Amino acid sequence: MASTQVTIAGIHFPSCVFNASGPRDVTLPELREIGASGSGAIVMKSCTPEPRDGNEEPRYADLPLGSINSMGLPNLGYTQYCEFPKDLAEYGKPVIASLAGMQPSDFPVLVEAFQKSDVDLIEVNLSCPNVKGKPQIGYDFEASDAILSLLDGLGDKPLGVKLPPYFDFVHFESMAAVLKKHKIAFITCVNSIGNALVIDAETERPVIRPKGGFGGLGGQYLKPTALANVRKFHELLGDRVQIIGVGGVYTGTDAFEFVLAGADAVQVGTAFMQEGLGCFARIDQELQAILDRKGYASAADAKGKLKAL
Question: Residue 22 — φ and ψ, nearest 5°?
Answer: 135, -70
CA distance 295 to 309: 21
Candidates 45, 38, 50; CA nearest to 20 is 45
Dihedral over alpha carbons 66, 284, 163, 34 (to 10 degrees):
80
3-state SS, one letter per residue, for 171-201: HHHHHHHHHHCCCCCEEEECCCEEEEECEEC
Question: 93-104: string of b/e by CB count within 10 Å (b at 16+)?
Answer: bbbbbbbbbeee
CA distance 143 to 137: 7
Cβ proximity of 95 and 114 under 8 Å? no
Q: What angle do the packed helices 169-180 and 223-237 form, to 10 degrees?
A: 50
Q: What share of the chain is helix, strand, coil (3-state, %, to 5)?
A: 35, 25, 40
Of 16, 47, 82, 128, the active-site residue reads 128
> Rounded to an integer, what is the distance from CA 204 to the centroid of its chain?
33
Q: How many CB atoms lie within 10 A of CB 200?
A: 11
Q: Is 128 a catalytic residue?
A: yes
CA separation, residue 54 to residues 70, 89, 125 (Å): 9, 28, 16
Q: What is the CA angle 11-108-148, rounded to 5?
A: 75
Q: Within 13 Å and on the Cβ side, how many CA atoms surround 236?
A: 20
Q: Which residues are catalytic?
A: 128
